[in-house]
Chain A
């Protein structure tokens, strides 16, 4: 369910731009924030707020990789696998995380706690290899640091 307040935020955004349609990307973010991923209700709300068809909004949402088309894990670990990180050992780090989490790159753990997502260049090449945990950077990551990070995330999950 998308709340009335959220729908109003989308309408306000649409009025902020010279053309209402420009509010599609930010409105999709708002819908995702509320629902965890891009749901049918989210698409409908964006379409209603901006005056587009649901299919039109869905077409936009599937073009951009930051809109989740299904529910991601509570902790999303993104790992950059582009060239500079490759030169600084991101494959070893990725393999390590796969082993520790018991999933392959791109998968979510069955308990819904973790998603491990390989990424294209994250603009952190000088501090490679690099992770993002729920959008925030963790840079110059060694295997030991990755282990500590996982312990910390485990503690955070227990508090949820």
Chain B
């Protein structure tokens, strides 16, 4: 089994407490950072490590930090723990099991970026995760790890845990800031980017929960050590959230560049397809990414290879479907998600996601028309790249890629008025 970095020790009993976390080396990285490095040196170290954002976009973390505007305004850090991308369940696990690793990462990032106030924005639905992070922050305050003159240095920071209240869009960084400022979670126009004008108008760094929780290990082990994992451009490890039709769904931390086949079929990980059925399709990085066919199962799981195969590594949410899955039914489910979660601010997304779902319902329930398939493609064309924020793009990924890969199934729905495969087809054939 490869070396675990961000999920190391997560199953140690009591690791969610400050005491046990410290017994296992917790907060040593913070001490090393604060005592041994200047803030800018940490930025350089993280750049050198090759760490890229684990939220979805995969932007180099150190580079993002170096974009922070240099002015006299207060700087802020937001930890994006608003995990809601369908197929993704890693940040919840980290917060529930090892909340101090996240807190330590937040503190290291604050030191590096000279931030005085940090917010951990935890998705509202994740009640236990929220409580765990709140307790960890409270205990860290009591131990002098958060507050004034941390570990005897001149580094001081305030950390506030803020609970979301049910809105996928708040995972989008500008909507997250709006939400933190007490408004409806509508995205902001970019530019200006948060690094220049962000929360309360100050330069703001926004990082994903897993990204921040990786920092302590990088400080401890060094940039070269971390960069020794993964591929040339996708360095390190990341947590892959495996779900759908596999024998052992779950979170698996693997070096970037591990083949999809290993994740799905290896006994240590997915253990193969559920009921040993044939693999039909894979969503590699959450429901906002493009569907891949079974011919892509040997693709290495790194940013570049998955992009070359026609999708995105996204949030690491790998959803696997077997041969009995009706693609139209599955994509309908994802389309309903984007309809419900579209914030309604811009017309292409609000109307596009609504009408796509209407058309999908028509297809699924045997009332589809042949031209509906091209109509869906046309709506996607009017939505992708034309919406105010990336949610609109995301809503089209599964629709366009599934029509390209499985057009026959869509046509079957129109011609035969029922599914081509799976329970829908069986029920129709009357051979239950």
Taking Cβ atoms with an 8 Å cutoff, the residues of A that contact B are 16-19, 21-26, 28-29, 50, 59-60, 63-67, 78, 81-84, 86-88, 119-128, 132, 135-137
Which stretch of B15-23, B35-43, B181-189, B408-416 is in the interface? Answer: B181-189
Min distance, Cβ B184 to any Cβ of chain A, angstroms: 4
Which stretch of B46-54, B243-251, B381-389 is in the interface? Answer: B243-251
Min distance, Cβ A138 to any Cβ of chain B, angstroms: 12
Min distance, Cβ A53 to any Cβ of chain B, angstroms: 13
Min distance, Cβ A83 to any Cβ of chain B, angstroms: 5
Q: A121 CA to B283 CA in the complex, in Å?
A: 15
| B165: A residues at CB distance < 8 A | 25, 28-29, 64-67
- Tell me if A25 and B86 are in contact (CB < 8 A): no
A-B contact pairs, 14 of them (CB 8 A): A22-B182, A60-B182, A64-B166, A66-B165, A82-B334, A83-B287, A84-B86, A120-B341, A123-B91, A123-B126, A125-B87, A125-B241, A126-B241, A135-B127
Which of B182, B243, B251, B341 sits near A25, CB closer than 8 Å?
Answer: B182
Q: A84 CA to B343 CA in the complex, in Å?
A: 23
Min distance, Cβ A13 to any Cβ of chain B, angstroms: 10
Taking Cβ atoms with an 8 Å cutoff, the residues of B that contact A are 74, 83-89, 91-92, 117, 123-128, 160, 162-168, 179-185, 200, 241-245, 249-251, 283, 287, 317, 319, 321, 325, 329-330, 333-334, 337, 340-341, 343
Nearest A-chain residue to B325, judged by Cβ: A87
Nearest B-chain residue to A87, judged by Cβ: B244
- Tell me if B334 and A83 are in contact (CB < 8 A): yes
- Tell me if A136 and B244 are in contact (CB < 8 A): no
Which of A16, A126, A136 sits near B249, CB closer than 8 Å?
Answer: A126
Interface contacts beyond A19-B181, A127-B249: sample of 5 additional A-B pairs, CB < 8 Å, sorted by A: A22-B162, A28-B165, A83-B333, A87-B321, A128-B243
- Tell me if A25 and B92 are in contact (CB < 8 A): no
| Given A59-B184, A60-B184, A125 contacting B83 (CB threshold 8 A) | no
| Given A119-B125, A125-B86, A21 contacting B181 (CB threshold 8 A) | yes
- Tell me if B86 and A24 are in contact (CB < 8 A): no
| B334: A residues at CB distance < 8 A | 82-83
Q: A16 CA to B119 CA in the complex, in Å?
A: 12
Q: A101 CA to B417 CA in the complex, in Å?
A: 32
| A81: B residues at CB distance < 8 A | 333
Closest 10 CB pairs of A and B: A65-B166, A64-B165, A24-B182, A125-B243, A21-B182, A66-B166, A63-B184, A84-B243, A121-B86, A135-B127
Q: A19 CA to B162 CA in the complex, in Å?
A: 14
Q: A121 CA to B241 CA in the complex, in Å?
A: 13
| B88: A residues at CB distance < 8 A | 121, 123, 125
- Tell me if A126 and B250 are in contact (CB < 8 A): yes
- Tell me if B181 and A126 are in contact (CB < 8 A): no
Min distance, Cβ A8 to any Cβ of chain B, angstroms: 19
| B185: A residues at CB distance < 8 A | 63-64
Which of A60, A82, A137 sits near B333, CB closer than 8 Å?
Answer: A82
- Tell me if B244 and A22 are in contact (CB < 8 A): no
Q: A25 CA to B127 CA in the complex, in Å?
A: 15
Min distance, Cβ A132 to any Cβ of chain B, angstroms: 7
- Tell me if B182 and A125 are in contact (CB < 8 A): no
Which of A22, A87, A132 sits near B180, CB closer than 8 Å?
Answer: A22
- Tell me if A121 and B84 are in contact (CB < 8 A): yes
